[in-house]
Chains A and B, each alone.
Chain A
Amino acid sequence: MKKLGAALTLLLLAACQKPAVWTAVTPLESELPGGLRVRGEAGWNRLDTHQAGTWNVRWTVNGETLDRLWFFAGVPAGQPLVRVRGEVPKGAAVFKEGMQAEDVAELFESFLSAGGSTFRRDRLAPHPFAGGDGFRFDYTLIRKADDVTLKGSAFGAVRGGKLYLIVFQAPRVHYFAALLPRAEAVVKSARIEP
């Protein structure tokens, strides 16, 4: 009976679930999960999925096939970069405490290439993040769905046992170079308030 009640509650909740909507990012400081705060100039749009308890936030200027700024804000140990319907996807690699820059890059690569896209890391280097030490890695991706070659730059750090990662990704042709400075400005503004 209890189970039935729970199932009904879930059904009701699902019925009330709002669709994901894009809203304009105001040029003020945005609060993201995990205590991450960033400032984005006008022009960015934020995707609201209305999913509580997720650390993923996505921004875009032109639409996600053309550019995406991806936040993984405070991924706890034992969790994947993205949960699917609130679950850890089967066989997904998870963030572990004590992971170093190269481990995070490897984790991100395995997440991004899981669907068969071709990933190549081009550079891994130290890079300041949210007022402390962090890392940056750049990569090239051949997107499986349409064979488009994309470039990406990821900036991050592990703080308080949680992973913070901001990734900018866009097609190599035009969009990546055109928007990277705007993405870097967002990364530069990042701070973490536990």
Chain B
Amino acid sequence: MLALPLLAGAGAAAQDPPAKPHAPALGSEEGGLRALCDREEAKLLQSPLLVRDPALTAYVQAVCCRLAGPLCPEVRVHILRTPYFNASMAPNGMMQVWTGLLLRCADEAQLATILGHEIAHYHLRHGLDQLRDAKSRSAFATLALMVPIAGPLASLGAVAGGFAYSRDHERAADAEGLERLAEAGYPAGEAPRVWSNLLEELKAEGGGDAAKRSRLFATHPPETERQRALEAAAARMAGADRDPGRAAFRAAIAPFRMGWMEDELKRRRYGESVALLTRLCGEDPQDGLARYFLGEACRLRDGDGDAERARRAYGEALELPGAPPEVHRALGRLHRRAGRMPEMRAAYARYLALRPDAEDAEMIKTYLKETP
């Protein structure tokens, strides 16, 4: 039975974390840890993966500030273009948010769920606790000495998050994160959904224990337990009718979604991508962009019936707003395979009209000249 000490209502012995010294002595453990993180942050600022978009960064920073309250000045948001679900906050205030997480959130409340959880780890100084644990210390030292921040993806999260937290830490961060979510005026009911969506996606790929394949699940409480605890806690909180901030969130990420969906397919976990894109299409049936990429994910998965699924998704995307010109190219490709030359020519001509400077325009022009 999971106890949520910070949410158990009146009489709960919520343990206050010690007041945060603003400049720990460099010789202290905390000082050393912060110096190490500062060095990693300097490297991060040079990374080609850093999304250098002031508007998007400011938007995520503002969500963090809403959640962090008085800690707001200590949080520095860095968005990294990498197609995995992850966010982490280092003990020096460096918050990394990966674009794979932004792609997967339906609204601001879901993003705030993850950010609030990470801010809670920071506030409760779990990174320092972990450092005091001898096992993590050796792991961390190895990591700090050997791993460039934009190097192997796994280490990105590991350096920033310090390393995997213990389950107790995760439970405490879940609880405090949820409180922060509610205090910031978000509906708490979105929180459990974030985790269930991710688990569903991981299960879609099959093979092994899905929950073990994401760093965010590695030591987190078992999913069903976490789910139940979060749902129960959220149910006790007011504000189910609050605005989850869908419009603002969608507006902030709109200019980037196409690139992020392309990145998603490059992970080559097509089962997971089909699950994710199916969900995105369900969340917004008018989303032509997600529909086109669902077609692409099916085409690339190339399993039984996937060619037909792809064709259907492209066809549906054509009728929807937001479908990219590439949907015509995809249809042209299918028609050419099947020898339907007039249809092929019409589709490719449409693509070239919309994307006259396409990188593959020269190749496609040769297809237009082909005769059956």
Contact = CB atoms under 8 A, between A and B. Distances in A.
A91 B337 CA distance: 25
A123 B153 contact: no
B16 interface: no
B266 interface: yes
Contacts of B151: 144-145
B357 to A, nearest CB: 11
Contact of B268 (A101, A110, A118, A142): A110
Nearest to B269: A91
B360 A124 contact: yes
A147 B47 contact: yes
A126 B153 contact: no
B363 interface: yes
Interface string A119-147: 10111111000000001000000101101
B283 interface: no
Interface string A89-117: 00101000010111000000110011010
B350 to A, nearest CB: 17
Nearest to B263: A118
Interface in B324-372: 333, 336-337, 359-360, 362-363, 366
A124 B359 contact: yes
Contact of B48 (A91, A101, A123, A147): A147
- Size band of the interface chain B makes with A: 10 to 19
Contacts of A91: 268
A119 B266 contact: yes
Nearest to A142: B48
Contact of A102 (B49, B150, B333): B333
A147 B150 contact: yes
Contact of A126 (B148, B337, B363): B363
A104 B152 CA distance: 27
Nearest to A125: B362
B153 A116 contact: yes
A124 B363 contact: yes
Contact of A124 (B47, B48, B336, B362): B362
Which has the most chain B C-beta neighbours within 10 Å: A93, A98, A123, A149?
Answer: A123
A123 B268 CA distance: 22
A105 B99 CA distance: 25
Interface in A149-174: 149
Contact of A149 (B48, B152, B363): B48
Given A102-B333, A119-B266, A135 B152 contact: no
A102 B300 CA distance: 13
A116 B152 contact: yes
Contacts of B366: 126
A86 to B, nearest CB: 22
Contacts of B337: 98
5 contacts: A118-B48, A124-B362, A125-B362, A142-B48, A147-B48
Interface of A: 91, 93, 98, 100-102, 109-110, 113-114, 116, 118-119, 121-126, 135, 142, 144-145, 147, 149
Given A93-B268, A119-B266, 20 more contacts: A98-B337, A100-B333, A101-B363, A102-B360, A102-B363, A109-B266, A110-B268, A114-B268, A116-B152, A118-B49, A123-B362, A124-B360, A124-B362, A125-B362, A135-B363, A144-B151, A145-B151, A147-B48, A147-B148, A147-B150
